[in-house]
Amino acid sequence: MSLTRNVPLFRSLKLAFFFVFSLSIFASFTNVTTHASAPTMSAVVVAAAPDPNYIPSDVPSSGDHNLDLIILRAAEQYGVDPRLLHAVIWQESRYKTNARSGAGAEGLMQMIPATAKRFNCDNAYDPQANATAGAKYLRWLLERFDGDVALALAGYNAGEGAVDKYNGVPPYAETQAYVRSIIAHYGQTYHPLLTPEQALVQFHLTQGTTDEVAALD
């Protein structure tokens, strides 16, 4: 009789032990799974610091990196494609900062003293001052002729008054050859009128790189 009365108690203890044991196994398994699936490292993407010496690979070079940077900065300042500025400089002086023509044009962009003064260049033989004034003048011409590269170049070579007089590229052999040569180097007949910020994107002048840095949890 006593044995029969103790059976329910025994069964209850057995079930309780089984429940506790099962719960312990489940908790251990869950803990292991959580730790196994947790990443030990995470990738963090950070923007690389801009390289002050960066020049796009498709922009022409004078062979002097410092001079190339001067030309690039002048172009950026006025929203001009540096590829066009290089084409003009190549045609005008072949990158000779001390160049002087028989007509008195001076420096990289062969600026006549009156034009240099008009665009705030006090020393046409200073490459930075010359390139900056030349880029400013070229931008002014592009605006005046609604982005038409041929007319802007004709104005640079023969004067904007001559372009107005003939309602197009003047019939001067020198000017026509000048326009053809630069457009052949530049490869474009239209130049969009952009802000300096817009030009950076349009002409692909920004260095869009990122670095991945691994960080421990």
* Residues known to be catalytic: 92
Degrees, nearest 5: CA angle 12-18-19: 90
**Residues 6+ away with beta carbon under 8 Å from 66:** none
**Which SS3 state, helix, strand or coil, does residue 147 take?**
coil
Helices and strands: H and E segment counts in the chain: 9, 2
Its sign, for the CA torsion 157, 55, 126, 192, is: positive
Distance between CA atoms of residues 32 and 112, nearest Å: 80
